[in-house]
Amino acid sequence: MIKAYAAFEASGELQPFEYDPGLLGAHDVEIAIEHCGICHSDLSMLHNEWGITRYPFVPGHEIIGTIAAKGDHVHHFQLGQRVGLGWHAGYCMTCHSCMSGDHNLCAQAESTIVGRHGGFADKVRANAASVVALPNSIQAQSAGPLFCGGITVFNPLLQFNIQPTAKVAVIGIGGLGHIALQFLKAWGCQVTAFTSSDDKKIEALELGAHQVLNTRNPTELETAASQFDLILSTVNVKLDWNAYIATLRPKGRLHFVGATLEPLDIGVFPLIAGQRSISGSPAGSPASLKTMLDFTEQHHIQPVIEIFRFDQVNEALARLASGKAKYRIVLSNQ
């Protein structure tokens, strides 16, 4: 039996919950969980904001642990090896996306917390193809957020071949944005942080931003006109997107990794005139995760975390919902 914490209705408190996972598949692994980050997506799923949650619902998709068991066809992991598991827990392995290395774009990809039980538990199961080994020098307790928040902001750097000389801005200095600033600084970019909070200015500069612009000040946005090659939006709220598009250089890109639920109100002429682009992307493939971990190890990048025990899960979720967390919350079994 796997011991977990589950909600039994939308927005319900998490309670102790046990379930029998059945026989271990030949291509699957069972992970003994040491740490599990809490992502805003866990909150969205808990409240069924996307209309796809099944109850009882066990959140958790930023998982760090060790291989406790493996299927007969799993040969690239050893028992006891420390690994990570993110948003995806399996892929079809036969579609064009999978065969091209873009597993995260697989239409049949299985999410760790959609239709299956996630990592707010003592163990979790997943297809071995979705699991990535954690380098020994990366701190296990803070590594979980890399497997969702980290790869979500790192993936665009790979997908769009962002140059080290690029000027890149980040909207929102929170769970995603604070990792993005670190990645971009190490990548070699000139980094700007957009934030509506004066309190975060010093922290953004410490995390890697070369400059910070206050989005509540229209003048500061106007002074940034035609400046950026890439803007990463990590927020889930509606903003004046046309004002941000005006800060893009010709051929610049406004890229969404935060799940803004309201439709985008965007004028098309600035896009046409400047050949600018609007795009979005999900997490990343296992290969991209491995590249991110290598980069993280080389540049000593580390998410800023707050730690709660697993039996404090409801307090931890309330802390995340308050918007006051600095910057990712991690549940620990240790």
pLDDT digits (tens, 9 = 90+) for 113-157: 999 999 999 999 999 999 999 999 999 999 999 999 999 999 999
- Measured from the Cβ of residue 96, the count of other Cβ atoms closer than 10 Å reads 10
Query: Shortest CA distance to 77 belongs to which of 30, 137, 24, 138?
Result: 30
Between helix 149-159 and helix 286-299 the angle, nearest 10°, is 100
Nearest to 122 by CA among 53, 164, 68: 68
3-class SS of residue 92: coil
More confident residue, 217 or 76: 76
Burial class (CB in 10 A: 0-12, 13-18, 19+), 137: exposed
Amino acid sitting at position 231 = I
pLDDT attached to residue 199 = 79
Q: Does the model's pTM come out above 0.75?
A: yes
Residue 220: per-residue pLDDT: 86
User: Which of 66-70, 173-177, 222-226, 324-328 is predicted most confidently?
Assistant: 66-70
pLDDT for the residue 261? 82
Query: Bridge partners of 36?
Result: 63, 331
Averaged pLDDT for residues 218-241: 92
Q: Which residue, chain included where needed, has tokens 């020994």?
A: 136
C-alpha dihedral (295, 251, 106, 296), degrees to nearest 10: 10
Q: Is the pLDDT of residue 207 over 80?
A: yes
* Whole-angstrom distance, CA of residue 310 vs CA of residue 333: 6
